[in-house]
Amino acid sequence: MPLWSELTRREFQKASRNTHVVLMVTGALEPHGMHMALGTDIILPTYLAEKIAKRTEAMVLPAIPFGDSWSFDLYEGTVSVSPETLVSLYADVMTSVFRNGFRYLVALNGHGPNATLLEQAAKKATMAGERVVIIVNWWIDLAKDVRKIVLESPEGHAAEDETSELMFIRPDLVDISAAMKKSVKTKYRIVSAGYREELYPAAILGDPTLASEEKGRLIIEQAETELVELISQLERGEVPLEKEPRS
Ligand SMILES: [Zn+2]
C-alpha cells in the first residue's frame, strides 16, 4: 500500500524500486451549492487515489487540498490560492518527485481551474530527462461512456454528476434536501470579479436534484478501472498516445 506519507525511508527505497509512477491529487476547498461538502474536489480524487494505492504499485502523494477558487471567493468556506503560487507549488512538487527517480507523474485533478496551472507547471518540470506529466481531469476524462449513459443532465459544478459521486463514496457529506437546480448560459465567456454571483449563483452549475448513489457508483467504478489501466500502461513504459490506425 504505497501511500508516500506512510512509508519509512527504508520502505520508500524499496517501494520506489517497484514503480515508475507517482500519483498527485489536486483539489480545492470551496462551496458546492448548499448541499455538499466544501472539500468535494479533494475527497473524490483522493478516494480514487487510495484505491490505486491498494491495487497498483504506484506511489500516492498526499493531496494538495487548495486550488484556484477565485470564482467562489465571495462565499463562506472558500480558501483559495493564487494561480502564481499554485504553478510554483505544482512545479516544485513535480520536480522533487522526478528527482526521486520516477518517470511518470499522474496529476489526478479534481478542480477545473487547476488544469491550466498544472499544465504550466508540467512544462517547467519536464524540461530535463525522461519525465512525463499526465493531467487527468478525472470528472471529464474518466468514465466518459458511462456518464453519457447514466446522466440525465449536463455535468457541472455541484451538479448531477458530482453530487451522485459524493453520494456513493460519502453519503454522510451530502444533504440532498438542500439541492437546487441552477444554470447560467452565456454565449461568450464572461470574466468579471463584479459578476461572480450572477455567473455562479449559489455555487451550482447544473441539476443536483437528479443525483443518485447508483449513478455515482457506476461512474466511480468505471473511473477506477480506467485509472488502473492508465497506471499499468505507464508501468509498461507506454505513454497513452492514441495513434491513428494505419490505413
Ligand atoms: Zn467540485
The answer to the question of residue 245 being in a domain is no
Distance 32 CA to ligand 1 centre (A): 6
Distance 146 CA to ligand 1 centre (A): 19
Q: Which stretch of DSSP H or E encloses residue 22?
A: strand 21-26
Cα Rg of the chain (Å, integer): 18
Residue 195 CB-density burial (10 A; 0-12 exposed, 13-18 middle, 19+ buried): exposed
pLDDT at 247 over 60: no
Distance 1 CA to ligand 1 centre (A): 27
The answer to the question of residue 117 being in a domain is yes
pTM value is 0.94
| Number of DSSP helices (H) and strands (E) in the chain, helices first | 9, 4
Average pLDDT, the chain: 95
What are 153-198's pLDDT values in tens digits?
999 999 999 999 999 999 999 999 999 999 888 999 999 999 998 9
Number of structural domains the chain divides into: 1
**DSSP state, 133?**
E
List beta partners, residue 132. Answer: 104
Distance 141 CA to ligand 1 centre (A): 15
CA distance 60 to 128: 22
pLDDT at 134 over 80: yes
The answer to the question of residue 102 being in a domain is yes
Distance 109 CA to ligand 1 centre (A): 10
Query: What's 189's domain CATH number?
Result: 3.40.50.10310
CA distance 56 to 104: 14
**pLDDT value of position 72:** 94
Distance 29 CA to ligand 1 centre (A): 9
Distance 139 CA to ligand 1 centre (A): 9
What are 54-76's pLDDT values in tens digits?
999 999 999 999 999 999 999 99
Distance 204 CA to ligand 1 centre (A): 9
* Residue 13 grid cell: 527505497
Residue 179 sits in which domain range? 4-233
User: Which of 44, 35, 37 has the alpha carbon at shortest distance from 211?
Assistant: 35
Distance 160 CA to ligand 1 centre (A): 11
Distance 110 CA to ligand 1 centre (A): 7
Distance 165 CA to ligand 1 centre (A): 10
Distance 162 CA to ligand 1 centre (A): 7
The answer to the question of residue 61 being in a domain is yes
Distance 18 CA to ligand 1 centre (A): 33
Rounded mean pLDDT of 104-117?
A: 97
User: Which pLDDT band, with edges at 50, 70 and 90, does 246 fall under?
Assistant: low
Sheet holding 132-137, edge to edge: 59-60, 21-26, 104-109, 132-137
**pLDDT value of position 14:** 95
Distance 127 CA to ligand 1 centre (A): 31
The answer to the question of residue 239 being in a domain is no
The answer to the question of residue 67 being in a domain is yes
Rounded mean pLDDT of 28-50?
A: 97
The answer to the question of residue 190 being in a domain is yes
* Residue 64 grid cell: 494538495
CA distance 46 to 85: 22
**pLDDT value of position 65:** 97
The answer to the question of residue 195 being in a domain is yes
Rounded mean pLDDT of 198-205?
A: 89
